[in-house]
Structure 1
Amino acid sequence: MTATAPPPSADATGPAGDSAALAGFGYSQELHRSMGRYASFAAGFSFISVLTTVFQFFAFGYSFGGGAFFWTWPAVLLGQLLVAACFAELAARYPISGAIYQWSTRLSRPTFGWFAGWIMVTGQIVVVAAAALALQVVLPAIWSGFQLVGGDPAPTTATGAANAAVLAGMLLALTTLVNVLDNRVLSAINRIGVTAEIIGAALIIVLLLTHSERGGGVTLRTGGEGGTIGALLVGAFAAAYVLIGFDSAGEMSEETRHPRRTAPRTILTALFAAGVLATLMVLGGLLAAPSLTDGRLATEGLAYVLTSSLGSGVGKALLVDVAVAIAVATLAIQTSATRMLFSMARDGVVPASRVLSRVSPRTGMPAAPAVTVGVAAAGLCLLNLASPEAFLAIGTTCIAMLYLAYAMVTGPMLVRRLRGGWSADPGVDETGRPLFSLGRWGLPINALALVYGLAMTVNLAWPRAAVYDPEGGHWYFQWFTALFLGATVLLGAVYRARRRPAEAPVAQPAPVP
């Protein structure tokens, strides 16, 4: 395996040229390269999935931040765009599956890169579980028959939490099957789902804004305890959870045609489009809510606004679109985690690497990683049976882990720049045009991206009792994020220390020259 591959010449186009470029990194073309620009965009957008995550966390954000939590959305979007700009540069230079692991390893040292990949794939598995649990927010609101467990369907109740685990298990069985079938089937479902989600999100925004009950002054009201700053720091959790996963376009690079040109642009466009739609949706929800004081907006969120303001028929029809978005998002996130696990297994740096690195020649899909991710996510969903607080603990844990993994890329990247090891002339893409580059803005953008990422990681992991254990008596939920992250690092350290020689990678990539 080599550190980097020379950018292809202008005439090295098509699948053969893309495969040859991948061979320059020391890998053979096993995954089927069938994705175009829209499919690459769909990979990033469906991971973010504004309908899934806004509906999932709107109530939480409003309950702590009040109407002012609206302003956390443009703030988080700006911070994430800084990170995405750095990732776009890396996607152009290193179009390889397992992006976070591969980028961190090549920018720093193999051990540091391994921990970045380990934290990222673990965080992705937790995100899969959190996305699947979101079905509980919409399905019972569409039809009471989806409340299979019986009782109160609210996710914060014992019966709602138990039903969420049941629905999530069913969804994960379906997404795991699709992740084993065929790359073309997976790509088609992503494209169709994202198209339906964009149309649905735009329609929801228009309908909410045309059914406004109040003016924009609602965005100046704060809620919760701890003052305005404290309320907004917690309210920002919603935006932080939504605006992640844009790196999925990079994860799918080995399945994308012309990835050096395509992936950088789809990373940025997926994040920007999702951020704008999410921000407008939150604003529309605040303006159209029948009441800000009856408590329903802080418990039922946007599902309550849709069915109350737009009527039961229209509201439930739109919720069906949301349910489809949740299913597609769960599928996309599982796919991203599968590619990360496959990439690490291909280098022989995880347990059972031989099995996890196998790709079906017929389907071009790594089946074993897909099953592993699906089973692990389903196991995490069972925590919901223990307590409703598990829902929030799982959600915030996955965000914190992904933010930390992102910082483990932007950090070494900044060090590389400061040491003068970042080339100002990266070469050309598959079409002969210059690779995506931040130029002279690279250093300040990189530095701000790292500071933002670390600050948000601390904010997410801070053990606030009012957030993670509001009822009291569950100290382990209050400290769940810190404990889970610590256990992940400890388990990884034990494995690295005790790894048998037979499990060692064939070759480790050297740092970027």
Structure 2
Amino acid sequence: MTGPGRHPSEDEATVGEFGYTQELQRSLSWFSLFSVSFSVMSIATGVFLNFTFGIAQLGPVSIWLWPAVGVGQLLVALVLTELGTRIPLAGAGYQWGSRLVGPAYGWFIGALGILYAAVGVPGIVYLAVAPLTEYVLGIDDASPRTTLFIALLVLTVAYLVNIISVQVAARINNVAVLAEILGTVVLAVLLFVLWVTGAKDSDHGVGYLTEHHTLPGHSYGYAVALASLVGVYTLAGFEAAADVAEEAVDAKRVLPRAILGSVVVSVVLGMLVLIGFTLAIPGDEVLAAGGLPAVFQYWLGEGLARTFVGVVVFAMFALMVVSAAVIARLLYAMARDNMLPGSALLRRVHPTTKTPVPALLAGYVLNVAVVIFGYNSANAFGTLVGATAVLPYLVYLLIVLAYGFRRRRRPAAVDGDFDLGRFAGVVFGASLVYLVAVILTLTLPDEFRRANYYVLGGLALAALWWLVGLRPRLERGEAGAPPLLDQRHPHADGPNAQEVEG
């Protein structure tokens, strides 16, 4: 899996320049990195969870907001890709913030990432993976205990795969990505063909894709903002490839293809899927009664519908596998800099498997605890999961702000590195405007007001640890990212740091 390009020792030397020792095993190819980002975005998961919401807010025309969101995400991805080629380290967002601004800034980015991972993964596994698994297996009227058991089983297997080896996790994810692409696209095309040929009754033509409405009391502007969240919810997490950069071969050169490619492919395929699924809606009452599985069952029959939903469940399982890896790499990266309680344990890497086992176990315990909380407090859990939607965009905003105002302090480009060049200012400005608009959409509506309190509560806890535990460590020089050893790449926080033109 090494392929042409930089020799693995060059990748390891890059880690050394940032003051670290190569501990994780480098074995991931560009396709594995692409698969990581594609799986975290997971158009199958996002569309299944949010399709009905978009249609309810604005009607079928809502699907045309998907490519608009895709352009915004691509702008942000361009910024993060440049940073990824300059600072290709595990726990990427935390590292970027620390290197561009300082350890406190990096800490809050990392804390937001931990909060997102702690709740987002349990939300998907408990509210989506488990119920859809019950549908695939034909378990009708499953008890809450059955749902809890399935959710915990999926989480346990996902983490065990990561403990065994990152290569096993990557192989499962690679297969799942191909299955997701083939399964969802084939399903959308099949539904489109059945609709065109009139295999069953449908109450609309192609003009249905332009029909629109709003809910009572909502303006069209408000409806457009809410409907756009289908893409906003789904097309996030593309930077996950950068989180496992220390396990990639030829990391600096494959990251751009992995991150940008995953965004473009997700936007294009997602649009095709949305068109096929929307045209297949036989009537609003079918969608409202049973969601997308009911639409599939109407056209394909129960058996074939369960088969295609099974492909979606497999894609969601891959998302769990990748998310476990990303959580662990963030915890490992922050513990390596002594930023977390119990850092001495969390930064350990198993000598045989080359995986951060203590960090994986910590992520597992955290996720299981939140799933059990969801089982016991369904209403509060739903609000908590809703709060996680804004967290990745707060992380993106903090990173883009750091990039825009401190770009000259990031490591200089070397031959072959991805570089925005003269377009950097335009990309920065456009991505900043886009992110502010998304965050306002995710926080201002009354529907999200209660969820905002959870985010604020998480930030308060992060600030408390920074004040009580972390700041004394930083003042004693016992925590924080080490200075760069290669003086061609000046350290952002050093008193004599020079500025480097991009």
* TM-score with structure 1 setting the length: 0.86
Is 1:100–1:116's contact at 8 Å kept on the other side of the alignment?
A: yes
User: How many residues were matched structurally?
Assistant: 470
Cα separation, partners in 2 of 1:49 and 1:506, compared to 1, 3 Å: closer
Partner of 2:387: 397
State the alpha-carbon separation in 2 of the partners of residues 203 and 276 from structure 1. 14
1:282-431 to 2 correspondences below 5 Å: 282-292=274-284, 294=285, 296-298=286-288, 300-386=290-376, 388-390=378-380, 392-417=382-407, 426-428=413-415
Partner of 2:268: 276
| Aligned mate of 1:479, from 442, 450, 462 | 450
Is 2:69–2:232's contact at 8 Å kept on the other side of the alignment?
A: yes
Give unpaired runs (5+ residues) of structure 1. 1-10, 150-158, 429-433, 469-477
Partner of 1:16: 9
- For residue 137 of structure 2, what is the amino acid of its counterpart? W
- For residue 461 of structure 1, what is the amino acid of its counterpart? T
| Aligned mate of 1:441, from 423, 426, 437 | 423
The alpha-carbon deviation at position 179 of structure 1 amounts to: 1.8
State the alpha-carbon separation in 2 of the partners of residues 239 and 393 from structure 1. 20
Partner of 1:191: 174
The alpha-carbon deviation at position 383 of structure 1 amounts to: 4.1
The alpha-carbon deviation at position 82 of structure 1 amounts to: 0.5
The alpha-carbon deviation at position 124 of structure 1 amounts to: 2.1
Is 1:46–1:190's contact at 8 Å kept on the other side of the alignment?
A: yes
Is 2:18–2:482's contact at 8 Å kept on the other side of the alignment?
A: no
1:148-227 to 2 correspondences below 5 Å: 148-149=142-143, 164-212=147-195, 213=202, 214-220=204-210, 221-225=212-216, 226-227=218-219
Counterpart secondary structure, 1:298: helix
State the alpha-carbon separation in 2 of the partners of residues 382 and 51 from structure 1. 25
State the alpha-carbon separation in 2 of the partners of residues 323 and 198 from structure 1. 13
State the alpha-carbon separation in 1 of the partners of residues 389 and 261 from structure 2. 21
Is 1:15–1:33's contact at 8 Å kept on the other side of the alignment?
A: yes
Partner of 1:37: 30
Partner of 1:472: none
- For residue 415 of structure 1, what is the amino acid of its counterpart? F
The alpha-carbon deviation at position 389 of structure 1 amounts to: 4.4
Cα separation, partners in 2 of 1:203 and 1:389, compared to 1, 3 Å: farther
1:239-258 to 2 correspondences below 5 Å: 239-258=231-250
State the alpha-carbon separation in 1 of the partners of residues 169 and 33 from structure 2. 12
1:98-117 to 2 correspondences below 5 Å: 98-117=91-110
Is 1:60–1:298's contact at 8 Å kept on the other side of the alignment?
A: no
- For residue 453 of structure 1, what is the amino acid of its counterpart? L
Q: Does 1:496 align with 2:466?
A: yes
- For residue 440 of structure 2, what is the amino acid of its counterpart? V
1:120-131 to 2 correspondences below 5 Å: 120-131=113-124
Cα separation, partners in 2 of 1:274 and 1:390, compared to 1, 3 Å: farther
Partner of 1:140: 134
Identity of aligned residues (%): 29
Counterpart secondary structure, 1:437: coil
State the alpha-carbon separation in 1 of the partners of residues 209 and 124 from structure 2. 27
Is 1:59–1:301's contact at 8 Å kept on the other side of the alignment?
A: yes
The alpha-carbon deviation at position 502 of structure 1 amounts to: 5.7
CA-to-partner distance for each residue in 1:326-385, whole Å, 9 max, x for gaps? 111111112111111110011100111011100001001111221222222222223433
The alpha-carbon deviation at position 320 of structure 1 amounts to: 0.9
The alpha-carbon deviation at position 72 of structure 1 amounts to: 2.1
Q: Does 1:50 align with 2:56?
A: no
The alpha-carbon deviation at position 15 of structure 1 amounts to: 1.6
Partner of 1:89: 82
* TM-score with structure 2 setting the length: 0.88
Is 2:99–2:481's contact at 8 Å kept on the other side of the alignment?
A: no
Cα separation, partners in 2 of 1:203 and 1:80, compared to 1, 3 Å: same
The alpha-carbon deviation at position 259 of structure 1 amounts to: 0.4
Cα separation, partners in 2 of 1:412 and 1:387, compared to 1, 3 Å: same
CA-to-partner distance for each residue in 1:137-164, whole Å, 9 max, x for gaps? 5223223327540xxxxxxxxx6xx754
Counterpart secondary structure, 1:300: helix
CA-to-partner distance for each residue in 1:245-285, whole Å, 9 max, x for gaps? 11011011000000000011100111111122222212211
- My pick for the range that moved more, 502-511 or 253-262, is 502-511
